[in-house]
Amino acid sequence: MPTIGFIGAGNMAEAIARGLLRAALFSREQIVAIDPNPDRQRVFNEELGIRCNGGKSPAICDVVVLAVKPFVVGEALSAIKSSLRPDALVISIAAGISCKFIESTAGGQPRVIRVMPNTPMLAGKGMSAIAKGTYATDNDVVMADRIFSAAGKTVRVSEETMDAVTAVSGSGPAYIFYLTEALAAAGKAAGLNDTQAAQLARETVIGAAALLEQSKDAPTELRRKVTTPNGTTQAAIETLEAGDFIGLMTKAITAAAKRSKELGK
């Protein structure tokens, strides 16, 4: 019976675990986790029914998921190195940390898959990019795809593009949340009260995302359908264009990608 262990039981590990249980890919008995935070231990032990910080070590599982912050990946690998099975599949979701770093730190020829998921996995709407390490096999990629498809969609990429993936998709939900904040703040400035502005902004973003998912039209076409010539939407779009909205977003993505590269050094 295959097993999967989480080194780190944060929100992303929780999202992955919930997806695995929901899709019945692994049972609760096949999943273990470890995390120093008592609150995270409680979520896994009590809410998910998954052993966390008790019994079997995640390091000896068939699949080991490194779900820790980038700056502690080296420390985490050093701690589990001696107990890590030679045939284990190691999946890392740490931003900026290369497969080569994990391979060299773990020693030997570990099968490493690097994945960049995002937080909508918690709602079963995640987007995860998967890249193969030096010694990983095509079957390992298939396994990673199955694991992350349980809570969203996946795309296979070369590791060289992972910093861009991190900037666009990994960090992307925060940009949408920030946009929602900005819509609410602007609505309040235009005369709405706090409750009205927050509800209108939130539900508009949710509705637009649902339409984007259901429609066969590209975002550009969907935007065009909302934009009546010389109407209110056009006035707003022209203002955004005058402020170089696309240029500003490009700068933001570039900054995030640069930071991802720095985390790997």
What are the φ and ψ backbone dihedral angles of 88, each rounded to 5 degrees? -70, 145
Verify that 155 and 184 share a domain, yes or no: no
Verify that 127 and 232 share a domain, yes or no: no
For tokens 């706090």, the residue is: 194
Judge whether 78 and 105 are in contact, CB under 8 Å: yes
| Stretch 174-194: mean pLDDT | 98
Cα gap 113→93, rounded to integer Å: 9
R_g over Cα of the chain = 21
Number of domains in the chain: 2
DSSP 151: T
| pLDDT score of 263 | 84
Verify that 128 and 204 share a domain, yes or no: no
| Stretch 150-161: mean pLDDT | 96
| pLDDT score of 56 | 79
| Stretch 224-245: mean pLDDT | 96
Cα gap 35→37, rounded to integer Å: 6
Domain boundary among 162, 189, 216: 162
Cα gap 59→65, rounded to integer Å: 9
Answer whether residue 167 is part of any domain. Answer: no
Residue 209 has pLDDT above 80, yes or no: yes
| pLDDT score of 54 | 81
Tell me the pTM: 0.91
Residue 19 has pLDDT above 90, yes or no: yes
Residue 144 has pLDDT above 80, yes or no: yes
Judge whether 162 and 260 are in contact, CB under 8 Å: yes
Verify that 54 and 135 share a domain, yes or no: yes
Quick: pLDDT tens for 24-50. 999 999 999 999 999 999 999 999 999
Mean pLDDT of the chain: 95
Inter-axis angle of helices 11-22 and 138-149, nearest 10: 90
Verify that 188 and 126 share a domain, yes or no: no
Answer whether residue 102 is part of any domain. Answer: yes
Domain around 139 = 4-162
Verify that 193 and 67 share a domain, yes or no: no
Domain boundary among 162, 181, 215: 162
Verify that 94 and 203 share a domain, yes or no: no
Quick: pLDDT tens for 121-143. 999 999 999 999 999 999 999 99
Cα gap 142→112, rounded to integer Å: 13
Residue 254 has pLDDT above 80, yes or no: yes
Verify that 131 and 19 share a domain, yes or no: yes
Inter-axis angle of helices 194-214 and 219-226, nearest 10: 130
Verify that 113 and 206 share a domain, yes or no: no
Residue 73 has pLDDT above 90, yes or no: yes
Give how far the C-alpha of residue 151 lies from the chain's centroid of Cα atoms, to the nearest Å: 10
Verify that 78 and 124 share a domain, yes or no: yes
Q: CA angle at residue 126 from 259 to 114, to 5 degrees?
A: 50
Cα gap 140→132, rounded to integer Å: 8
Verify that 197 and 74 share a domain, yes or no: no
Q: How many CA atoms lie within 13 A of 14 on its CB side?
A: 19
| pLDDT score of 103 | 95
| Stretch 64-68: mean pLDDT | 96
Verify that 178 and 123 share a domain, yes or no: no
Judge whether 152 and 93 are in contact, CB under 8 Å: no
List for the chain the helix, strand, coil content (%; round to 5).
Answer: 60, 15, 30
CA distances 245 to 16, 24, 233, 238, 252, Å, are 34, 43, 15, 10, 11
In terms of phi and psi (left: phi > 0; alpha: psi -120 to 50; beta: otherwise), the region of 118 is: beta
| pLDDT score of 149 | 97
Closest by CA to 111, choosing from 62, 183, 44, 179, is 62
Answer whether residue 110 is part of any domain. Answer: yes
| pLDDT score of 247 | 97
| pLDDT score of 26 | 96
| pLDDT score of 30 | 95
What are the φ and ψ backbone dihedral angles of 192, each rounded to 5 degrees? -80, 155
Quick: pLDDT tens for 86-98. 899 999 999 999 9
